[in-house]
Each structure stands twice: as C-alpha cells, then as structure tokens.
C-alpha cells in the first residue's frame, strides 16, 4: 500500500498528491508515468510523474477530476493509502544536448510539462515556458514554472490573467522574431498540441508531443493506447509517451479519444450517485 503524505488542491478540479513510493522515486525520470488505482476495484489511471524526492522516497502526481476513477482517487485522504502505484513506465523525455527549448503546456498538461522544464533547467538549458489556461481560476503551477524558466509567458483564453491569447500566438511571435529553439516540447489537450505542431512546422523546428490516450495495462499488451505515427502503429505506453509531432495522426487520435466520452460520463454519474449515498 502507498500512503498519501500530502495533498493539495491546485484549483477546483485539479489535485496534487505526494505519495510514498521509494522505488519509483529512485528510478523515475521526467516524462515517465505511473499507473495508480485508488481501490482494489478502481480502474487503472495513467498519470505522469510530476516530481520526485528520492531522499524522502516520495512521488508527486497531479490529476484532474473528470471521471469515476479520478473521483475515487480524489476521495482518498491524506494519511490514507492508494491500492496500486506502478512505475515508472514509458520512456523518459530525451533532453540531452539541448541548449534552448520552448516548453508549451496547456491546462492540466502543465503538470506533465513542469518536470520536463525542471530537468532542462537542471542541465543548463535555456528554457522558454508558455503555459495556457481557459481562465485565471484554472491557473496552476505558475511559481514552479517561474523557478525553472528563463522566460515564462502565461496566457488565458478569456484574458482574466496574463495575456489574452492561446499558446500558439506567443509561440508564433517568438519564431517569427527569429528565436532559435533546438526543440519545442508541448504537452496538453490533443487539439492544442495539433495546433502547436501546425505553428512550428513551417519554421522546421523539431516538435515533441506527449500523448495520453486511453490505457489499460501500461505494457503494450492491451493495444488501447495505439496511435498512428509516421504511418505506423505505435503504443503510447511503451513507444512513448513522447513522439515526433510532425509524424502523429492527430485526427485519428482525436476521433479515438472521443469514442469513450459517453462511457466516461456514465461512469462519472454512477460514482457521483454512490458518493452521495455514502455521504448521506
């Protein structure tokens, strides 16, 4: 069992948990993920490692409450334990040798982008951060990004904080002004990453995307996380989660992701009803 030693609400729908998992903390690198189950009958949830403290033996995960599984995870209190915490899984983000990188995060995807930005900063890379949210009340991890970015640009869709724009606007401005990025690393909603790739492609800047399709086992056996990359079938859990953004078939990924929305909604409603009964 894996104890929750700290929990923090980052905004009304996003929670950070710090969990005792010394073996994972010792091995995990930026870009890798774990699979967690809140209870023995919960679904498996893949979550990127948001941070580690090898000395304390703890791992941080950040998640958005969107379905039954994340509702169950969010209900686990500080001092209690989650049933499973398996990892690290996937390949670490390749950052060796990079001198100047733009890290672009969107929404809760910023929780995945942060450890990458930290790892780049730690090796002496110049890091330009662009993070975007729908509104100010959904903003997360700004201070943490400031600590590891040479420049940080915050945008919101409605202009309630930072600059009123989407992340591709300042990114395009940087590229048009002649910014010499070795690579752009983008993590967030599929549609956002699709448009980031469309923005960088005319400039020929290598762009890495972090894919997070539906997963079950995390070992490549179930095939649920398959993607088409460069005309070939890849599995996000073992071949990724990072891929060359110019090679990813985003339209297919968006279509596959949308297939599960009715099931997710049904499971969330059932879990809400169960939690309400438990409260009563």
In tens, the pLDDT along 242-265 reads 999 999 998 888 887 665 555 455
- Cβ neighbors of 142 (< 8 A, separation 6 or more) are 131, 152, 154
Name the percent of the chain lying above pLDDT 90: 61
| Domain architecture of the chain: domains with CATH | 2-89 (2.40.30.10), 100-258 (3.40.50.80)
The 3-state DSSP class for residue 64 equals: strand
Whether pLDDT at 266 is above 80: no
> What's the whole-model pTM score?
0.85
6, two tokens: 């700290």
pLDDT value at 271 more than 50: no
Residue indicated by tokens 């992701």: 257
Burial class of 142 by CB neighbour count within 10 A (0 to 12, 13 to 18, 19+) = middle
Tens digits of residue pLDDT in 59-111:
999 999 888 888 998 999 999 999 999 889 989 999 999 999 999 999 999 99
- Would you state the structure tokens that stand for residue 92, as one six-digit string? 């670490």
**Average pLDDT over the chain, rounded to an integer:** 88
Could you tell me where the beta strands, DSSP code E, fall in the chain? 2-11, 14-20, 33-37, 45-53, 58-64, 81-82, 84-89, 100-106, 126-133, 151-156, 163-164, 183-187, 207-210, 226-229, 232-235, 242-244
- Is residue 163 very low, low, confident or very high in pLDDT (cuts 50, 70, 90)? very high
């Amino acid at each position: 069992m894996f104890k929750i030693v700290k929990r923090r609400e980052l905004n009304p729908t996003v929670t950070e948990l710090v969990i005792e998992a010394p073996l994972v903390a010792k091995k995990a690198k930026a870009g890798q993920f774990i699979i967690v189950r809140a209870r023995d009958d919960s679904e498996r949830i893949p979550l990127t490692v948001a941070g580690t403290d090898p000395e304390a033996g703890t791992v941080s995960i950040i998640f958005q409450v969107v379905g039954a599984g994340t509702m169950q995870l969010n209900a686990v209190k500080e001092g209690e334990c989650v049933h499973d915490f398996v990892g690290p899984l996937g390949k670490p983000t390749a950052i060796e040798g990079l001198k100047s990188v733009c890290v672009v995060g969107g929404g809760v995807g910023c929780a995945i982008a942060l450890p990458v930005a930290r790892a780049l900063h730690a090796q002496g890379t110049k890091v330009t951060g662009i993070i975007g949210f729908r509104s100010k009340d959904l903003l997360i991890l700004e201070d943490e990004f400031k600590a590891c970015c040479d420049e940080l640009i915050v945008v919101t869709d409605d202009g309630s904080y930072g600059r009123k724009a989407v992340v591709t606007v300042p990114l395009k401005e940087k590229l048009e002004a002649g910014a010499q990025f070795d690579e752009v690393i983008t993590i967030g909603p599929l549609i956002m990453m699709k448009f980031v790739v469309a923005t960088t492609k005319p400039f020929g800047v290598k762009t890495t995307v972090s894919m997070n399709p539906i997963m079950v086992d995390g070992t490549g056996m179930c095939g649920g996380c398959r993607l088409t990359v460069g005309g070939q079938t890849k599995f996000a859990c073992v071949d990724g989660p990072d891929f060359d953004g110019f090679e990813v078939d985003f339209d297919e990924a968006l279509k596959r992701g949308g297939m599960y929305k009715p099931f997710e909604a049904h499971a969330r409603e059932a879990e809400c009803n169960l939690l309400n009964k438990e409260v009563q």
